[in-house]
Amino acid sequence: MKCPKCSDGELREMELPENVTIDMCPKCKGIWYDRGEVGFQQELERDIPELETVEKTKRPTGNDCPRCADGTKLEEMRYAVESDLMIDRCPKCEGIFLDKGELSKLESIAAKIDSFSARLARAVKDIDARGYFK
């Protein structure tokens, strides 16, 4: 896949310990996450917790989605209401591209968004779905 920020950069797959494969650009150090991977990695219910609200901040970019590869342009939007972090997201496949340095900002924001009790409830639900309580 081509990096949406570098005209000649190729994204390289990297397997994370959480069984998530991300695509990184060795040139600009940007990271591509497919739909659901940000939420999974950050232990959130979804990639962008306040999507309905922050979608109002979206604006088009001139960057092509690396996953769709059909000319779909990424949109820039806030990650969270109480944040100035702007992320790039594909309106079609819902993948997210983070520029160098944005992952640490996203992690800080995500830690404040979801409460411990909500994370624990999801973990218990996941364990139950795997049959450990039956």
The verdict on residue 23 lying in a domain is yes
User: What is the residue range of 110's domain?
Assistant: 12-129
For residue 128, the model assigns a pLDDT of: 81
The verdict on residue 123 lying in a domain is yes
Q: Residues, the chain, total? A: 134
For residue 82, the model assigns a pLDDT of: 85
In whole angstroms, what is the distance from residue 90 CA to residue 6 CA? 17
Residue 111 DSSP SS3: helix
Q: How many domains does the chain have?
A: 1
Question: 35: which 2 tokens?
Answer: 């739909």
The verdict on residue 74 lying in a domain is yes
For residue 16, the model assigns a pLDDT of: 81
pLDDT, averaged per 10 consecutive residues of the chain (134 residues), comes to 88 84 93 93 86 93 93 95 93 96 91 67 76 78
For residue 31, the model assigns a pLDDT of: 95
In this prediction the pTM is 0.82
Question: 91: which 2 tokens?
Answer: 């309106």
The verdict on residue 37 lying in a domain is yes
For residue 32, the model assigns a pLDDT of: 96
